């Protein structure tokens, strides 16, 4: 587990890590810089929000003018959604707002301490600010960006070339987990269970936080569809060029390999309920 | 003098054992020694969606 995206980028480039979940624009920028990696799948859809102080003066997007907002990285969808939301309200994020990069685990504390006026971040940090009673969601990403993407699964090209079967196993597992989390009639039960074991054994966070993020409401974060779609990524590339973090548009095929998502199409949800020995 | 050397030796062994149990990820070390085809992929993530 890492605490920030720059460290993940370094670990991937040095082959300490062979695959990584990272924000989509960072993966695209890496590829544009010639780093041999490809996006093979998505981590989720939605699950990002702009949060302001609960008792603060910001009640609408236009109130963000002149404020300080934390984002996870210059190369993040959380930054792009701010540009998009401000543009929809006749503003320009470059001129009307001061954005500062901050490690995701630090933003809720910074908001509580009034070091920042707002943050744009993925879950569970918006939930943390809400539960803590000091933050209020100004808007969720879905309000300005249908089918919004944040984290994607990136794999080193040498691993794709030499061990495609291992990459397929990884993608199949993520696909099955996504279907399990979004399974009709059982989604809430599965999400509550996931919040418990992910909170305790992977994120080392209070499961109460993940329970809130995964069920309040149930589609706050979605895990289907996770196949990388050309139109979604063209939107991201165009926004990156417009906002000055990418010199020129690069073609979809150059940074996405769709074969593993296609290979996972026939997958079904894990058969697993709380108390079972293992998933099938 | 002998007591002191024994105490230092016990202390070093205890600290080394505690360090290797608490701070060394043996699963990762063992995985890195396997042939490439048998190795598990290391997947990086941060505690965020």
**Rounded to whole angstroms, how far apart are CA atoms A74 and B30?**
36
Q: pLDDT tens digit string along A88-105?
A: 999 999 999 999 999 999
pLDDT reading at A179 higher than 90: yes
Strand A37-42 and strand A118-122: pairing? Answer: unpaired
Q: Which residue of B has its CA nearest to A2?
A: B46
pLDDT reading at A166 higher than 90: yes
CATH of A46-143, one of 3.40.50.300, 3.20.20.30, 3.40.190.10, 1.10.760.10: 3.40.190.10
Q: In this structure, which topology does domain A5-44+150-182+223-263 adopt according to CATH?
A: D-Maltodextrin-Binding Protein; domain 2 (3.40.190)
So what's the pLDDT on residue A131? 96
So what's the pLDDT on residue A57? 95
Q: ω into residue A225 within 30 of 0, thus cis?
A: yes
Q: What are phi and psi of A37, to 5 degrees?
A: -135, 160
Contacts of B46 in chain A (CB under 8 A): 1-5, 8, 21, 104-105
Query: Using DSSP, how many helices (H) and how many strands (E) does chain A show?
Result: 13, 10
So what's the pLDDT on residue A25? 97
Q: Which residue of B has its CA nearest to A160?
A: B41
Contacts of A222 in chain B (CB under 8 A): none
Size of interface A-B (CB pairs under 8 A): 73
The pLDDT tens digits along chain B (49 residues) read 899 999 999 999 999 999 999 999 898 889 989 998 899 999 999 887 6
The chain-wide mean pLDDT, for chain A, equals 94
CB-based contact B46 A3, cutoff 8 Å: yes
Contacts of A166 in chain B (CB under 8 A): 41
Q: Which residue has the higher pLDDT, B46 or A171?
A: A171
So what's the pLDDT on residue A168? 97
Tell whether B4 lies on the interface with A, counting CB pairs under 8 A.
Answer: no
- For the residues A145-153, what does the mean pLDDT come to? 94
Candidates A5, A155, A203; nearest CB to B47: A203
Least Cα separation, residue B34 to chain A (angstroms): 14
- For the residues A121-135, what does the mean pLDDT come to? 96
Candidates A2, A123, A162; nearest CB to B45: A2
Q: Where in chain A is the domain with CATH 3.40.190.10?
A: 5-44+150-182+223-263, 46-143
- Return the closest-CA partner of residue A84 out of A228, A222, A236, A219: A236
Give, as one character, the DSSP assignment of residue A3. Answer: S
Tell whether B45 lies on the interface with A, counting CB pairs under 8 A.
Answer: yes
Contacts of A1 in chain B (CB under 8 A): 45-47
Candidates B36, B44, B48; nearest CB to A125: B48
């Amino acid at each position: 587990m890492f605490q920030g995206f720059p460290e993940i980028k370094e670990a991937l480039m040095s082959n300490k890590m062979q695959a990584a979940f990272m924000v989509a624009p960072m993966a695209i920028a890496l590829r544009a810089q010639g780093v041999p990696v490809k996006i093979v799948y998505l981590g989720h859809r939605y699950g990002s929000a702009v949060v302001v102080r609960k008792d603060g003066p910001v009640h609408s997007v236009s109130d963000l003018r002149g404020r300080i907002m934390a984002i996870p990285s210059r190369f993040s969808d959380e930054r792009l959604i701010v540009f998009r939301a401000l543009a929809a309200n006749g503003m320009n994020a470059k001129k009307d707002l001061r954005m500062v990069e901050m490690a995701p685990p630090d933003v809720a504390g910074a908001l509580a301490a009034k070091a920042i006026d707002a943050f744009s971040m993925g879950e569970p940090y918006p939930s943390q600010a809400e539960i803590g009673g000091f933050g209020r969601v100004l808007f969720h990403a879905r309000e300005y960006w249908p089918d919004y993407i944040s984290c994607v699964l990136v794999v080193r090209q040498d691993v794709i070339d030499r061990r495609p079967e291992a990459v397929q196993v990884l993608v199949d597992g993520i696909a099955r987990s996504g279907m399990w989390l979004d399974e009709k009639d059982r989604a809430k039960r599965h999400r509550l269970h996931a919040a418990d074991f992910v909170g305790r054994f992977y994120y080392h966070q209070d499961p109460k936080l993940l329970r809130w993020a995964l069920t309040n409401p149930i589609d706050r974060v979605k895990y289907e569809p996770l196949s990388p779609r050309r139109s979604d990524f063209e939107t991201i590339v165009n926004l990156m060029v417009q906002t000055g973090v990418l010199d020129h548009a690069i073609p979809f095929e150059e940074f996405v390999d769709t074969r593993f998502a296609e290979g996972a199409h026939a997958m079904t949800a894990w058969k697993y309920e709380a108390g079972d020995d293992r998933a099938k | 003098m002998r007591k002191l050397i024994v105490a230092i030796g016990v202390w070093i062994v205890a600290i080394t054992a505690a360090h290797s149990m608490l701070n060394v990820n043996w699963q990762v070390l063992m995985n890195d020694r396997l042939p490439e085809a048998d190795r598990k992929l290391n997947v990086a993530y941060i505690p965020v969606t």
